[in-house]
Amino acid sequence: MRMFFGICVSAIIAMAPVSAAAIDGVWNTGPSNREETKDSSLDIKFHPCDDRPDRFCATIVRLREPRGVSGYTKLPDGSLIVGYTFIRNLKPKGDGYYKRGDILSVDESMVDGEMRWYGLRVQNNFDGTLTATGCLGFICPKKITWRQVIDGEIQNPVLDATAIAEVETESVAGKTSNSPD
Protein backbone atom coordinates (compact mmCIF):
# COMPACT_ATOMS: atom_id res chain seq x y z
CA MET A 1 0.00 0.00 0.00
CA ARG A 2 2.82 2.44 0.90
CA MET A 3 4.56 1.67 -2.37
CA PHE A 4 1.34 2.34 -4.31
CA PHE A 5 0.87 5.65 -2.44
CA GLY A 6 4.48 6.66 -3.17
CA ILE A 7 4.07 5.88 -6.86
CA CYS A 8 0.85 7.93 -7.01
CA VAL A 9 2.47 10.92 -5.29
CA SER A 10 5.48 10.69 -7.64
CA ALA A 11 3.17 10.59 -10.66
CA ILE A 12 1.23 13.64 -9.46
CA ILE A 13 4.44 15.60 -8.86
CA ALA A 14 5.76 14.64 -12.30
CA MET A 15 2.54 15.87 -13.96
CA ALA A 16 2.53 19.21 -12.11
CA PRO A 17 3.17 22.23 -14.32
CA VAL A 18 6.59 23.88 -14.19
CA SER A 19 6.72 26.71 -11.65
CA ALA A 20 8.06 30.00 -12.98
CA ALA A 21 7.90 31.84 -9.65
CA ALA A 22 11.69 32.02 -9.22
CA ILE A 23 12.32 33.50 -12.67
CA ASP A 24 8.97 35.18 -13.27
CA GLY A 25 9.00 38.73 -14.57
CA VAL A 26 11.44 40.75 -16.66
CA TRP A 27 15.20 40.56 -16.04
CA ASN A 28 18.13 42.69 -17.24
CA THR A 29 21.22 40.83 -18.39
CA GLY A 30 23.67 43.52 -17.29
CA PRO A 31 26.08 45.54 -19.42
CA SER A 32 27.99 44.00 -22.31
CA ASN A 33 31.76 44.10 -22.03
CA ARG A 34 32.41 43.87 -25.79
CA GLU A 35 33.82 47.19 -27.01
CA GLU A 36 31.40 47.39 -29.97
CA THR A 37 28.35 46.98 -27.72
CA LYS A 38 29.85 48.35 -24.47
CA ASP A 39 27.30 48.96 -21.71
CA SER A 40 24.35 47.76 -23.82
CA SER A 41 22.07 45.26 -22.12
CA LEU A 42 18.94 43.24 -22.73
CA ASP A 43 15.67 42.99 -20.85
CA ILE A 44 14.36 39.44 -21.12
CA LYS A 45 11.23 37.55 -20.08
CA PHE A 46 11.15 33.85 -19.22
CA HIS A 47 8.26 31.66 -20.36
CA PRO A 48 7.57 27.95 -20.93
CA CYS A 49 9.10 26.84 -24.24
CA ASP A 50 6.56 26.35 -27.03
CA ASP A 51 7.88 22.94 -28.03
CA ARG A 52 8.76 21.78 -24.49
CA PRO A 53 6.42 23.31 -21.87
CA ASP A 54 8.35 21.53 -19.07
CA ARG A 55 11.37 23.75 -19.90
CA PHE A 56 11.91 27.51 -19.91
CA CYS A 57 12.84 29.81 -22.74
CA ALA A 58 13.47 33.57 -22.60
CA THR A 59 12.65 36.22 -25.15
CA ILE A 60 14.33 39.61 -25.53
CA VAL A 61 11.75 42.31 -24.80
CA ARG A 62 14.00 45.41 -24.84
CA LEU A 63 17.46 46.47 -25.96
CA ARG A 64 19.05 49.10 -23.70
CA GLU A 65 21.81 51.23 -25.26
CA PRO A 66 22.89 53.95 -22.82
CA ARG A 67 25.79 55.10 -25.05
CA GLY A 68 23.49 55.73 -27.99
CA VAL A 69 22.13 53.59 -30.79
CA SER A 70 24.75 51.08 -31.96
CA GLY A 71 23.00 50.28 -35.20
CA TYR A 72 22.65 46.63 -34.23
CA THR A 73 18.99 45.63 -34.61
CA LYS A 74 19.26 42.25 -36.31
CA LEU A 75 21.12 39.04 -35.55
CA PRO A 76 23.36 37.36 -38.15
CA ASP A 77 20.51 35.03 -39.19
CA GLY A 78 18.35 38.08 -40.03
CA SER A 79 16.11 37.86 -36.94
CA LEU A 80 15.26 41.03 -35.05
CA ILE A 81 16.97 41.21 -31.65
CA VAL A 82 13.83 42.34 -29.81
CA GLY A 83 11.38 39.43 -29.87
CA TYR A 84 14.08 36.79 -30.34
CA THR A 85 14.01 33.73 -28.07
CA PHE A 86 17.66 33.64 -27.05
CA ILE A 87 17.39 31.12 -24.18
CA ARG A 88 16.09 27.64 -24.97
CA ASN A 89 15.29 24.46 -23.04
CA LEU A 90 16.31 25.59 -19.55
CA LYS A 91 15.40 22.71 -17.25
CA PRO A 92 14.17 23.43 -13.69
CA LYS A 93 16.01 21.38 -11.06
CA GLY A 94 14.24 22.72 -7.94
CA ASP A 95 15.27 25.19 -5.23
CA GLY A 96 15.75 27.99 -7.78
CA TYR A 97 18.23 26.08 -9.96
CA TYR A 98 17.89 25.63 -13.71
CA LYS A 99 20.32 23.88 -16.04
CA ARG A 100 20.96 22.29 -19.43
CA GLY A 101 19.71 25.32 -21.33
CA ASP A 102 21.21 27.05 -24.34
CA ILE A 103 21.85 30.78 -24.62
CA LEU A 104 22.71 32.91 -27.62
CA SER A 105 25.51 35.37 -26.90
CA VAL A 106 23.85 38.31 -28.63
CA ASP A 107 26.81 40.70 -28.43
CA GLU A 108 29.31 38.09 -29.72
CA SER A 109 26.92 37.05 -32.49
CA MET A 110 26.41 40.62 -33.71
CA VAL A 111 30.10 41.48 -33.64
CA ASP A 112 31.38 38.14 -35.05
CA GLY A 113 28.66 37.83 -37.71
CA GLU A 114 27.57 34.31 -36.75
CA MET A 115 25.20 32.86 -34.15
CA ARG A 116 27.14 31.92 -30.96
CA TRP A 117 25.29 29.47 -28.67
CA TYR A 118 26.55 28.29 -25.27
CA GLY A 119 25.31 26.05 -22.48
CA LEU A 120 23.47 27.81 -19.64
CA ARG A 121 22.76 27.31 -15.95
CA VAL A 122 20.72 29.78 -13.89
CA GLN A 123 20.48 30.12 -10.13
CA ASN A 124 17.96 32.22 -8.20
CA ASN A 125 19.81 34.09 -5.42
CA PHE A 126 18.53 35.12 -2.01
CA ASP A 127 19.09 38.81 -2.85
CA GLY A 128 16.51 38.70 -5.65
CA THR A 129 19.03 38.40 -8.50
CA LEU A 130 19.76 35.56 -10.89
CA THR A 131 23.22 34.20 -11.61
CA ALA A 132 23.59 33.06 -15.21
CA THR A 133 26.55 30.80 -15.94
CA GLY A 134 27.69 30.30 -19.53
CA CYS A 135 29.29 26.97 -20.40
CA LEU A 136 31.38 25.38 -23.14
CA GLY A 137 30.80 21.69 -22.54
CA PHE A 138 31.63 20.99 -18.89
CA ILE A 139 33.66 24.20 -18.47
CA CYS A 140 31.53 27.06 -17.13
CA PRO A 141 33.86 30.05 -16.81
CA LYS A 142 31.50 33.01 -17.16
CA LYS A 143 29.04 34.10 -14.47
CA ILE A 144 26.80 37.13 -14.86
CA THR A 145 24.32 38.63 -12.41
CA TRP A 146 20.90 39.47 -13.83
CA ARG A 147 18.64 41.94 -12.03
CA GLN A 148 14.86 42.16 -12.10
CA VAL A 149 13.17 44.98 -14.00
CA ILE A 150 10.07 46.49 -12.39
CA ASP A 151 8.11 49.27 -14.14
CA GLY A 152 10.99 49.67 -16.60
CA GLU A 153 13.60 50.25 -13.89
CA ILE A 154 16.46 47.85 -13.19
CA GLN A 155 16.41 46.93 -9.51
CA ASN A 156 19.73 47.52 -7.68
CA PRO A 157 21.63 48.35 -10.87
CA VAL A 158 25.34 47.65 -11.10
CA LEU A 159 27.43 50.75 -10.54
CA ASP A 160 30.00 51.45 -13.21
CA ALA A 161 33.67 51.93 -12.28
CA THR A 162 33.36 55.75 -12.29
CA ALA A 163 30.39 55.69 -9.90
CA ILE A 164 32.19 53.23 -7.61
CA ALA A 165 35.30 55.45 -7.57
CA GLU A 166 33.15 58.49 -6.72
CA VAL A 167 31.44 56.63 -3.86
CA GLU A 168 34.81 55.43 -2.53
CA THR A 169 36.28 58.95 -2.77
CA GLU A 170 33.30 60.44 -0.93
CA SER A 171 33.55 57.71 1.69
CA VAL A 172 37.27 58.28 2.23
CA ALA A 173 36.79 62.07 2.28
CA GLY A 174 34.04 61.68 4.89
CA LYS A 175 36.23 59.47 7.08
CA THR A 176 39.18 61.83 6.77
CA SER A 177 37.20 64.88 7.83
CA ASN A 178 35.70 63.03 10.79
CA SER A 179 38.91 61.37 11.96
CA PRO A 180 40.71 62.81 14.99
CA ASP A 181 44.13 64.46 14.46
The CATH number of whichever domain residue 58 belongs to comes to: 2.40.128.520
- Mind listing the pLDDT tens digit for each residue in 70-89? 777 889 999 999 999 999 99
What is the tally of structural domains in the chain? Answer: 1
Query: What DSSP assignment string belongs to 46-95?
Result: EEE-SS-TTSEEEEEEEEE-TT---S--B-TTS-BSTT-EEEEEEEEEET
- Give the percent of the chain with pLDDT over 70: 72
- Mind listing the pLDDT tens digit for each residue in 89-122? 999 998 889 999 999 999 888 888 999 999 999 9
* Closest to 150 measured CA to CA, from 6, 13, 45, 76: 45
Is the predicted pLDDT of residue 174 greater than 50, yes or no? no
* Closest to 49 measured CA to CA, from 19, 11, 90: 90
Structural domain range at position 134: 2-178
**Contact by Cβ (8 Å): 27, 146:** yes
Is the predicted pLDDT of residue 160 greater than 90, yes or no? no
- Give the percent of the chain with pLDDT over 90: 36
Confidence (pLDDT) at 35: 76
Is the predicted pLDDT of residue 165 greater than 60, yes or no? no
Helix (H) or strand (E) holding 105: none
Question: Residue 78 — φ and ψ, nearest 5°?
Answer: 95, -5
